[in-house]
Structure 1
Amino acid sequence: MTDRPPGEPGRTRAAGRSACGLFALAGVLAFAGMVQPGARAGDLLVVAVADLALAAVAWWTPQRGAPLLAVAALVVLAYSAWAFGGVAAGTGPFFVLLFAWVGLHHPPWTAVALAPLTASAYVAPLLATHQPPEVVGSAVVFVPVTTAVGEVIARRVRQLHRARMQVEAAERWRAALMVTLAHDVRAPLTSVQMALEMLDDDPQPEPSDRHRLAASALRQTARITRLAGGLLDAGRIEHGTLRLDRRPVPLRAAAEAAAALTPAAALTFIAVPADLVVDADPDRLEQILVNLIGNAARHGAAPFVVAASADGAAVDLSVRDHGTGVPDDKRAALFERYAPGAGGTPGSVGLGLWIVRELARAHGGDARYEPAEPGARFVVRLPAWSA
């Protein structure tokens, strides 16, 4: 078993090369059987040569061609059973080994698809050698059990592969998170430290300077608080303990307040009707807006536009930038737990958009991406307030 997803280097020939070992073993055993008293040396030689030829072909067979090896192996197994008078004692274990190999390297449907051919390869030699009905009838048990072996192994392998990918994604996310936290916390702390040092150097600053420094320090501490709140909310969402304090929230005022908290505030246009009111938790709504505006500022280009429109009992709230947009191959994973940012920036931990979607869903809505041509538009649907 390999832990690489299909198509990566190292996996493209893994199925064929493991089949090579299986066929080589069958060929060597066939050669060894030739020295046994009463052995049908001619038939064993044909089986041995066929198995070793398959082993050689399998060594160079890429992943996409590997299922054809199973078909060829079933033909050899059918010949073996026929040549030895329909006795399946020697071929039965190889049927099982073949399906175990199928399960290790192919999706579950492959084993099911091979079942009719397996039934033919097992039953035809029995019929050709005029075996009694009870022997032929053993296929009713043998073929389903063999197929089930392959399918069960295939499903288990896929489960283990998904679990491993999730663990690796979580480890990558944690590593990136540490780097992101170090950057996002250090920058505002540096600003706070500089403000405090300037106040310490000048015990009696001008009121305007004191106000400017205090405002700067307060903005940066608020930034740290929002970061900590986002991480706490991520934990609450993951454990299902998030609680909302819902009330009527004027959407335009919320958008203006959120825009003022982001680096892109001076470049953000608010196109939200003054009379739109949503049924939302004000703090979570601010978090949604700050995350979306911040995401646009990091990955897009000005101007940034916050807009909203009513749609029946719901309100569509959108944040658009005028950058290059999100590549097609990145869109499916935009809102996933460990996905990179909208622009695929290395080191991005993929937390903001995931939180946006989960907070929207907690309100009974959802989040989606739309290409804006030019740029990207992220839309959040929230319930409208109904008095």
Structure 2
Amino acid sequence: MPKKNERSITSALGGGESVRMLRKALRKTLKPADDKLEKMLESITSIQACRDAALTGNEDLRLLAVCRLGEFGVDGLESLDIALNDDSPLVRAVAAGMIAVTRSRDGAVLLESYSNDNSEIVRAAIEFSTGWLQENGHNLLESSKPVKTESLLAFLLEDSETPLKTSDDVVVTNEFATIAGSLEFGITVQNIGTTAVHDVTVQVLSFPRENMNAEDELEQNIDVIEPGDAESLIFGFSVTGDVVEGEIITSVTFYDQSEQLLAAKSGNVFVRALYEQMVPLEADKDEFLELKKGMKAWNREHMLAAEAKVVYESAIKMIEDKNLKILQTESTERKGAFMGVVSGMGQNRMTGNRLAVIFTVLGKADDDLSKMRIDVFSDNPEILHSAASDLFESVQRSLGIIEE
């Protein structure tokens, strides 16, 4: 057994200032003590859940996920590298610390390219980790296993439960549906293995909290799933504002026949709810023009691989499907060119904010290439980009350009 180095980590690094700065960053992520944060940390047990949360969660969840990633050894290096580009200096500092936890000398090389970070606390963390890895790091083969937290991580924080292994025997699929005032998130867990799994725990770790509230418990359980069987669960949310947009991140864990606790690859799902909250709003041409003057406006243009007349007809149907009142449909063909204009307007049933859209489509007759402009107007400027993106994606789906 190799002799344990009796020098302290602090002295091994040549001083305590880097250690103090890194400790400050890490402790700030976990203080004040909060049961909710502790529960979130316990939930992020698989490497896939950590990767997803480190990319898409709020700052608290990203910090906790990054803390977990270091415990996966070199398997977590790629995600930690990405985290070093995070907007938050705290996330970047913790990512630098967790790279040291991987014990891979490759991590020291990786950190060198970030040594000029504009945050003092991040630079201190990078200096700490680089020094520790140069003193104590191993080559790739030796550092490929998840590490124990007896030295560095215990020195920085507290020991925590080893992350779970991921299993391919359980497949998770997600979907969601939106109706007026609510969003339902469905998750199906399928056992494609040869033995039963039991005590399946499904958790929603994160969801877009602006304008959306959970109506069900965010943790649900399934007793047993036999080989070849599947079970589905639904999580209900209420929508309280003009738009909901963001990621729902989930975690699925279970016990196999040998009573080993494992995690399934559950991933994350992008959700958006906007037009489902609308009711059609009637207005004549003069009223429509007057209403637009008081609204915020934005537009975007796109080229589409479809005939202009087909795009125009698709836009008419789509405006009806989006709960908007069609106020104008005009088209003309002249000298082999087509032009069409479609407009509609609606009002949010909860906030009363109005939304108006205008489609303008141009193209040559019988040519599978057209130009489309989307103008959006609203009392709430924060929904303009989401409204236009939703419309464009819907047009592409209706034309078969992107899949449903």
TM range (shorter): under 0.3
Could you say which structure has the greater relative contact order, defined with CA pairs below 8 angstroms and 6 or more residues apart? 2
Of Structure 1 and Structure 2, the greater helix share is in: 1
> TM-score, normalised to structure 1's length?
0.27
Larger radius of gyration: 1
Going by fraction, where is strand more abundant, 1 or 2?
2
TM-score calculated relative to the size of structure 2: 0.27
